[in-house]
Amino acid sequence: MNWRVIPSLAALLAAFISCTWLCGCGITESEEPAAGALTVSVWDTTAGQSLPGAAIFVDGTARQECTPATICGLSEGLHSVTVVPPALDYPSIDTTVNITPPDTQTVTLLAGASTEPGYLHIVTTPADAAVHIDFRPGDHASGSVLPILPGEHLVSAWLDDHAVPEPGFVVATVRAADTTTVRLTLTEEPSGIGNGQLAPNLVLTGDLGNEYSLAQYRGAVLLLNFAGFDCDPCRDELPDIQRVCEQRFEDGFRVLVINVGWYNDGPDDFARIREDLHLTMPLLFADTPGGAATTTYNIAAAPTNVLIDRRGIIRYRLGAVTEAQLDELIQPLLSD
């Protein structure tokens, strides 16, 4: 399926369940034109509290940061900003911000639940599968009837040792006040770490405290990049991977960078590599409740790249990759 034939869905999905929270940046002297920055946050008028995790679009382009976030490197002048809250029934908010380098502008947007939502009724077989919508974090139980904004939504599901039939997701069209029912039947498929096997789930914590799960990315083409931040080949390939992620993000490509933990990298190292290489991809610690992610995936060298298709099947296990190599590998997977 080509994601560009459903632009409204691609735009909505462009920044979820993959979102990275970047709360600071440095502005250094260079010969380039001076750049400014923008701090974006959202206030939930329905709940009366701050609303984290909203996706951010600047000048129509999806950012990988989520609110609250500071976005660096913005040119002088007016920029359009759109924020898409994480709640399924909250509409997006638009504004315009004037950037005046080298200052950091601050904007707080107001969001509230829609008064005219549609409803999504999702039924899975087996019934204990966890449902995921639009790559957003969080599980929904089979049988749930969820208030949701009218429009197109990507629906998938996760159950250990089960796969969703191709293409790995269902696109549901929801209309205001109507209930749309989606049925997903998962098939048994044992997990493993070799090519052609169902990728084992991981629940990982990012350097800024966010939790990520492979389950929420079912329906996306996902790269697990196992890296050490003091490893030269790892550092060399990360900018290439970042560029491919930015170029293919709206097509449904996601990246999780998992620190292997062999180099005693701490929070300062995570912050430093973000700033040095201008990374917005999620940077995750390898430790998991069930053991290190490197053990689960039998990672013996860094970098190691594990490329997973929309159904959750491992298609490639690779060493270092270039931008051209990665783009060539993911292109047919994104077209499925």
d(CA 225, CA 274): 15
Boundary (domain end) residue, out of 80, 111, 142: 111
Based on the fold, state whether residues 294 and 277 are members of the same structural domain: yes
Query: Which residue type sits at 7?
Result: P
Boundary (domain end) residue, out of 132, 156, 188: 188
Question: Which residue, among 241, 182, 248, has the nearest Cα to 221 in the 3D structure?
Answer: 248
Q: What is the mean pLDDT of residues 102-129?
A: 93
Based on the fold, state whether residues 94 and 136 are members of the same structural domain: no
Based on the fold, state whether residues 158 and 66 are members of the same structural domain: no
Report angle CA 115, 118, 121 to the nearest 5 degrees: 140
| Residue 196 domain-assigned (yes or no) | no
| Residue 288 domain-assigned (yes or no) | yes
| Residue 197 domain-assigned (yes or no) | no
Does the pLDDT at position 315 exceed 90?
yes
Does the pLDDT at position 97 exceed 60?
yes
The rounded percent of the chain whose pLDDT value lies above 90 is: 59
| Residue 156 domain-assigned (yes or no) | yes
Number of domains in the chain: 3
Does the pLDDT at position 137 exceed 70?
no
* Domain housing 248: 203-335
pLDDT digits (tens, 9 = 90+) for 218-251: 999 999 999 999 999 999 999 999 999 989 988 9
Based on the fold, state whether residues 21 and 63 are members of the same structural domain: yes
pLDDT digits (tens, 9 = 90+) for 5-55: 334 444 444 444 444 333 334 434 445 567 899 999 999 999 899 988 888
* Helix boundaries (H) for 230-307: 232-248, 267-277, 293-296
Lowest-confidence segment of 24-38, 115-129, 311-325 by average pLDDT: 24-38
Based on the fold, state whether residues 81 and 21 are members of the same structural domain: yes
pLDDT band at 105 (very low <50, low <70, confident <90, very high): very high
DSSP 194-234: STTSBPPP-EEEBTTS-EEEGGGGBTBEEEEEEE-TT-HHH
What is the domain-level CATH number for residue 88?
2.60.40.10
The rounded percent of the chain whose pLDDT value lies above 70 is: 88
Does the pLDDT at position 63 exceed 80?
no
d(CA 39, CA 103): 11
**pLDDT at res. 22:** 38
| Residue 198 domain-assigned (yes or no) | no
